[in-house]
Amino acid sequence: MRRIKLIVAYDGTHYAGYQVQPNGNTIQAEIESVLARMHRHPVKIVASGRTDARVHALGQVIHFDTSLEMPAERFVKALNAMLPDDILVKQAEEMDDTFHARYGAKRKEYRYHIRQTEDPFRRHYAATVTYKLSLEAMRQAMERLIGTHDFTSFSVTKAEVEDRVRTIYEAEVLEMGDEIIFRFVGSGFLYNQVRIMVGTVIEVGRGKYQPADIIQMLEAKDRRVAGITAPPHGLYLWNVNYEKVD
């Protein structure tokens, strides 16, 4: 058996999320169904992590084991020929069998797009925020999130994770055309963490909170003290990195 690593992009608009669920199409189900047709037996895939319904990915990473003898690169064309056109395999590579898409992930990058005016062409790809926003206040709030913190206040309490300490290496605000992008690079993210961080930073931008309030929010370890959860359709899993961070 050879282990294949895929880099996959998808438009999450029409999916009930990444992971196989009782109701609704998922990215995982689509890819596994195509792999089963190619292999003539079920093939299980492992992703770096789930994404929720309507969340997008530019660089989701997946692995699976195959007995097929074709070169790894051939999986790109073969899979894309059968996958729906809102899922695209960008790269395929053979790895040794110690590679694991989920446990091996060292850093993840997420981006969140917002815009200040309605645009019918961006309705599934950026959240519209019509409040007047202070970029400077949002930049200061983002800086307070950098570092190693317990992110309990910025995660959904139903998540049964014991250790809620994560490290954010980079958190910045970018402007591109008429959109504002919140970019995060971290060791990993709790369930809904990016969307709650973005929702809170936007509330700082409109003056409901001060940038320094982020520090007390982190210390409180209580979801109720942070801001709202930003909607899913502005969020992109941008990149997953498997190299060791020094």
Q: Which residues are catalytic?
A: 52
Q: Does 53 bind a second copy (CB under 8 A)?
A: no
Which pair of tokens denotes residue 176? 């591109």
Residue 179 found at the interface with a second copy (CB under 8 A): no
Task: Count residues binding a second copy (CB under 8 A).
Answer: 15
Which of 4-12, 43-51, 140-148, 224-232 is the region at the interface with a second copy (rule: CB under 8 A)? Answer: 4-12
The correct pick among 65, 73, 97, 119 for binding a second copy (CB under 8 A) is 119
Strand-strand pairing, 179-186 and 165-176? antiparallel
Which of 69, 118 has the CB closer to a second copy?
A: 118
Question: Kind of pairing, strands 2-10 and 56-66?
Answer: antiparallel
Q: Is 110 annotated as a binding residue?
A: yes
Q: Does 175 bind a second copy (CB under 8 A)?
A: no
- Least distance to a second copy from the beta carbon of 55, Å? 13
Q: Which of 99, 125, 169, 191 binds a second copy (CB under 8 A)?
A: 125
Q: Length of the chain in residues, anyone?
A: 246
Q: What are phi and psi of 34, to 5 degrees?
A: -70, -40
The CA-based dihedral angle spanning residues 45, 49, 55, 57, taken in that order and rounded to the nearest 10 degrees: -70
Q: Minimal distance in Å, beta carbon 220 to a second copy?
A: 36
Minimum distance from residue 205 beta carbon to a second copy (Å): 23
11 vs 203 by CB, closer to a second copy: 11
For a second copy, the binding residues in 78-107 under the rule CB under 8 A are: 80, 85-88
Query: Could you give the C-alpha distances from 51 to 29, 33, 60, 135, 158, in angstroms and in order?
Result: 13, 19, 9, 27, 16
Helix axes 193-205, 213-220, angle to 10 degrees: 150
Q: Which stretch binds a second copy (CB under 8 A): 38-46, 117-125, 160-168, 198-206?
A: 117-125
- Taking a C-beta distance cutoff of 8 angstroms, is the pair 200, 216 a contact? no
Distance CA 29, CA 33 (A): 6
- Minimum Å distance from CB 2 to a second copy? 25
CB of 92 to a second copy, least distance (A): 15
Interface with a second copy (CB under 8 A): 9-11, 56, 80, 85-88, 118-121, 123, 125
- Binding residues for substrate, by number, are 110
- Binding residues, by number, are 110
